[in-house]
Amino acid sequence: MLLSVLAAIVGTAIVLLMDWFPVDAARRVGQIDTLYDVLLIFSVPIFVLVMSVAIYSVIKFRARPGDLGDGAPIHGNTRLEIFWVTIPFLIVSGLAVYGWIVLDDIEAKQPDQMVVKVTGQQFTWSFEYPKERVKSSQLVLPKDKPVEFRLNTKDVIHSFWVPEFRLKSDVVPGMTTKVRLTPNRVGRWNVVCAELCGLGHATMRQVVQVMEPAAFRSWVKRHGAGGQQAAGGSNGPTADGKRAFAANGCGSCHTFKPAGSTATVGPDLDQLKSVAAKRRPGKSARAYVRESITDPRAFTVKGFPKNVMPTTFKKDIAPEQLDALVQYLLAGGKSK
């Protein structure tokens, strides 16, 4: 008896002291972590109780060798049964109400929200700041500013998750889902896709960078007002190609050293330069690469699974960007 009370106290203390969660990087995350701790406080004693009764009974009432007797013919005890219906009922009801309150709190709409549109596609994320007029393949957020993410997908279901923010929402074809939060810690955290979305699902990880508001403002200035095109003018087609490669998430499936990607879901693009002209009889290297991007079902390189490459690029990549991308790939990342 004393032993199990002790075990319950020690056990509860241990699980409460354990560092379960990743860093807490958004407002109200603490409420979720506290809710989890409260769940632990109820859980451990119940588990210890079950274990104690089981172990005690096995030791105390174990049959001696050759014992052919029966146990006490106890068929039940109404009071005891009412007790163990009522107590769990009260516990779970209380926890449900508590959970509901926390839920309402974390989802409450904040004044002065910044809107970020998030688009998922196989197998990358892209981001748009409508008010700031920024489009980017990186997610950058100012500290202490409430954000509302509006989530869309170009193909299948993805799930937008930042463990440090404790928030997650599926990204569903045909609808816009929303997540609200306020980052409150400067740093770099992972954006993880949590819903199986196909071959490259495991590689669909990006980074969210939370910075001081001043740093964020200058980031917006650098990338703002049409972002990519504006910055592109001075850098020429190679930079355009590189940006198109990054913005469309090519690197999450393909190896291409100039862009720093090493994924192996699709063919290695470092070799593209040498094989592109020979792959499709009657098609030039340029035409073949173009076809592979805009109509990937037309031909699949031997040894790679069919129907994996998304078919959305035809409408997502503007013609001039496509030209730049094809040239970038065929030039092996070098400018001519």
Q: Report the site for another protein in 125-184 (rule: CB under 8 A).
A: 155-157, 159, 161, 163-164, 166-175, 177
Residue 50 binds another protein, judged by CB under 8 A: yes
Asked if 294 and 220 count as a contact pair (C-beta separation under 8 A), the reply is no
Residue number with CB closer to another protein (71 or 233): 71
Question: Is the preceding peptide bond at 47 cis, omega within 30 degrees of 0?
Answer: no
- Which of residues 10 and 89 has its CB atom nearest to another protein in the complex? 89
Q: For the residues of 287-301, what is the DSSP string, one character each?
A: HHHHHHHH-GGG---
Residue 283 CB coordination number (10 Å): 17
For residue 83, the minimal CB distance to another protein (Å) is 9
Find the part of the chain contacting another protein (CB under 8 A) among 43-51, 137-145, 215-223, 233-241. 43-51
Distances (CA, A) of 176 to 111, 117, 133, 192, 255: 21, 10, 20, 18, 32
From candidates 16, 24, 27, 35, binder to another protein by CB under 8 A: 35
The interface region with another protein, picked from 99-107, 125-133, 238-246, 277-285 by CB under 8 A, is 99-107
Binding mask 181-200 for another protein (x = CB under 8 A): ---------x-xxxxxxxxx
Identify residues 225-284 at the interface with another protein (CB under 8 A). Answer: 264-265
Question: What are the angstrom distances between the C-alpha of 158 and each of 132, 137, 154, 249?
Answer: 25, 16, 10, 14
Question: For residues 317 and 249, what is the distance between their CA atoms, to the nearest angstrom?
Answer: 12
Query: Under a CB-based contact definition with an 8 Å cutoff, are residues 146 and 182 in contact?
Result: yes
Interface stretch with another protein, choices 28-36, 212-220, 221-229, 242-250 (CB under 8 A): 28-36
Cα–Cα nearest to 271, from 247, 294, 248, 254: 254
Select 81 or 320, whichever has its Cβ closest to another protein. 81
Scan residues 51-90 and list those touching another protein (CB under 8 A): 51, 53-54, 57-58, 61-63, 67-77, 80-81, 84-85, 88-89
Nearer to another protein by Cβ, of 61 and 282: the residue is 61
Nearest to another protein of 205, 280 (CB atom): 205
Cα torsion angle, 134, 137, 142, 148, sign: positive
Contacts of 321 (CB under 8 A, 6+ apart): 240, 243, 244
- Contact segment (CB under 8 A) with another protein among 6-14, 48-56, 237-245, 269-277 equals 48-56
SS (H, E, C) 137-177: CCEEEECCCCEEEEEEECCCCEEEEEHHHCEEEEECCCCCE
119 is an interface residue for another protein by CB under 8 A:
no
Give the number of C-alpha atoms closer than 13 A to the C-alpha of residue 48, restricted to the C-beta side.
20
Count of residues in contact with another protein, rule CB under 8 A: 84
Give the residue with the Cβ less far from another protein, 132 or 164. 164
**325 and 317 Cβ atoms separated by less than 8 Å:** yes
Cβ nearer to another protein, comparing 99 with 332:
99
Asked whether the beta carbons of 153 and 172 are under 8 A apart, the reply is: yes
Nearer to another protein, 179 or 244 (CB): 179
Residue 201 binds another protein (CB under 8 A): yes
* Contacting another protein within 202-221 (CB under 8 A): 202-203, 205
Stretch that binds another protein, among 222-230, 241-249, 302-310, 314-322 (CB under 8 A): 302-310
3-state SS, residue 203: helix
Kindly state the smallest distance separating residue 25's Cβ from another protein, in Å. Answer: 12
Q: Which two tokens stand for residue 7?
A: 């075990």
- The binder of another protein chosen from 7, 16, 102, 231 (CB under 8 A): 102
CA 275, chain centre distance (Å): 36
